[in-house]
Amino acid sequence: MISSILFIVILIAGIFLFTRNVKKIIRNIRLGRDLNRNDRPAERWKTMARVALGQSKMMVRPVAAFFHIILYVGFIIINIEVLEIMIDGIAGTHRVFSFMGSFYNFLIGTFEFLAFGVLAACIVFLARRNILKLKRFWMREMTSGPRSDANIILITEIALMTFFLTMNACDFILQERDVEHYIKAGAFPVSSLFAGLFQNFSNNGLEMIERSCWWAHIIGIIAFLNYVPYSKHFHIFLAFPNTYYSNLNAKGQFSNLESVTNEVKLMLDPSAVPPPIDANATPQKFGAKDIFDLTWKQLMDAYSCTECGRCSSVCPANLTGKLLSPRKIMMDTRDRLEEVGKNIDANKEFKDDGKSLLNDYIIPEELWACTTCNACVEACPVNIDPLSIIVDMRRFIVMEQSASPTELNGMFTRMENNGAPWAFSSADRMNWVKTD
């Protein structure tokens, strides 16, 4: 009874903390501007099924894809076992689903194979990051914090799988010894292979190890659940909605500012009636200076980023040594959003802190290095769009601050005077075809 009460208290506390943190993230995302992404639902469902569920964009790099799919499938299926652990913890039972008979044996056997696969995949990923030191994991934005975050997650998963397999190994021996409460149920194709390590332990010793691993496994899962909202691994939950709300327009198709479009329409048609002006409405900026000027989807992108670096590893600007790193754009956006969220938590509303995403986190040199080639968007495994943030911030620099580079200023002047970016009038535009 005491064990069940303790388990219930820990479970409720874990769920409460996780729910509170998720609500803060949802609130932060809603700080962004409104954006309608409810069109073409059939295409959106198909995109989510292909990219998030089917892991289609992971396949570009087969080795990483193979091990990631093991982690992905293991994470989903092994969590079915967590349901049994929760029921056992609350009710004080042991292997409550054992009534399923041979199907239960199949499930436990499958869980063990997946647990071993997850264990192996995490070791491989740790080696890739810390021994092979793949370049994309050691770029300048990957400071000790982000690198530690990835290692913590991988080490935690290794520990959880080790607890699970050790628990089963002891359970297997206790079942073979017909110890009371340990009913014969489940198949143990992996844990039975190293169960011999525990054969010389007494029944009491085995029960202590089995119960300790049981508690460590479930408490580890609850702790992991509450760590995820603070880490890059929140993409576990956001990958599906983020791909569903993907930008379905053709790559390279830019969105026009409605305010600018209306002005152009009025210039072309003097008889057009201007839209009504709402005196109470907050004037909208051209482009984006801070997270409040971005859309909710761009903020969701920031929380969905897993910092894998695929975007930066294919970015031509980054590859030629320029400051731009699309991954850093997303990391900076998330860091600024978290800072704003903490400001709101402390003051009940946002108090101007004298900072902004532009300049304090992302500098113009990074933004102007972008060639708008869309390579980063194409490479992202969960359809994050760093380019949209870059373009919106460049719009602010040009249209609000009039601080565009000298090369662009010259082009703008020629377009205004000549109707073209070249330094000659429209009347002389076809001179090049004339012959002497």
Please indicate, yes or no, whether residues 353 and 233 belong to a single structural domain of this protein.
no
In this structure, is residue 226 part of a structural domain? yes
Q: Are 291 and 357 in contact (CB under 8 A)?
A: yes
Domain that holds residue 296: 258-272+283-418
In this structure, is residue 16 part of a structural domain? yes
Asked whether residue 276 carries a pLDDT value surpassing 90, the answer given is no
In this structure, is residue 431 part of a structural domain? no
What's the pLDDT score for residue 281?
Answer: 64
Please indicate, yes or no, whether residues 23 and 138 belong to a single structural domain of this protein.
yes
Please indicate, yes or no, whether residues 265 and 212 belong to a single structural domain of this protein.
no
Asked whether residue 429 carries a pLDDT value surpassing 80, the answer given is no
Please indicate, yes or no, whether residues 226 and 265 belong to a single structural domain of this protein.
no
Task: Give the ranges where 323-385 is alpha helix by DSSP (H).
Answer: 326-347, 357-360, 364-368, 375-379
Please indicate, yes or no, whether residues 145 and 207 belong to a single structural domain of this protein.
yes
The mean predicted confidence, pLDDT, of the chain is 90
Give pLDDT tens digits for 317-330.
999 999 999 999 99
Asked whether residue 49 carries a pLDDT value surpassing 90, the answer given is yes
Q: Domain tally for the chain?
A: 2
What's the pLDDT score for residue 282?
Answer: 66
Please indicate, yes or no, whether residues 120 and 160 belong to a single structural domain of this protein.
yes
Instruction: Find the CATH number of the domain harbouring 351.
Output: 1.10.1060
What's the pLDDT score for residue 414?
Answer: 86
Asked whether residue 436 carries a pLDDT value surpassing 80, the answer given is no
Please indicate, yes or no, whether residues 230 and 290 belong to a single structural domain of this protein.
no
In this structure, is residue 291 part of a structural domain? yes
Q: Are 53 and 314 in contact (CB under 8 A)?
A: no
In this structure, is residue 292 part of a structural domain? yes
Please indicate, yes or no, whether residues 103 and 210 belong to a single structural domain of this protein.
yes
Q: Can you tell me the mean pLDDT for 354-383?
A: 95
Asked whether residue 51 carries a pLDDT value surpassing 90, the answer given is yes
Asked whether residue 409 carries a pLDDT value surpassing 70, the answer given is yes
What's the pLDDT score for residue 408?
Answer: 86
CA distances from 3 to 9, 81, 218, 368, 426 (A): 10, 19, 13, 60, 85
Please indicate, yes or no, whether residues 128 and 21 belong to a single structural domain of this protein.
yes
Radius of gyration of the chain (CA): 28
In this structure, is residue 430 part of a structural domain? no
Rounded to whole angstroms, the Cα distance separating 394 from 286 reads 10
Asked whether residue 1 carries a pLDDT value surpassing 80, the answer given is no
With tokens 């964009």, the residue in question is 57
In this structure, is residue 424 part of a structural domain? no
Give pLDDT tens digits for 230-266.
898 899 899 999 999 999 998 878 888 877 888 788 8
Please indicate, yes or no, whether residues 88 and 232 belong to a single structural domain of this protein.
yes
Nearest CA-CA partner of 328 in 286, 283, 376, 268: 376
Please indicate, yes or no, whether residues 14 and 146 belong to a single structural domain of this protein.
yes
What's the pLDDT score for residue 124?
Answer: 95
In this structure, is residue 170 part of a structural domain? yes
Q: How confident is the model at residue 27 (pLDDT cuts 50, 70, 90)?
A: very high
Q: Are 372 and 320 in contact (CB under 8 A)?
A: no
What's the pLDDT score for residue 279?
Answer: 67
Rounded to whole angstroms, the Cα distance separating 379 from 389 reads 16
Higher pLDDT, 436 or 412: 412
**β-sheet bridge partners, residue 415:** none
Please indicate, yes or no, whether residues 177 and 201 belong to a single structural domain of this protein.
yes
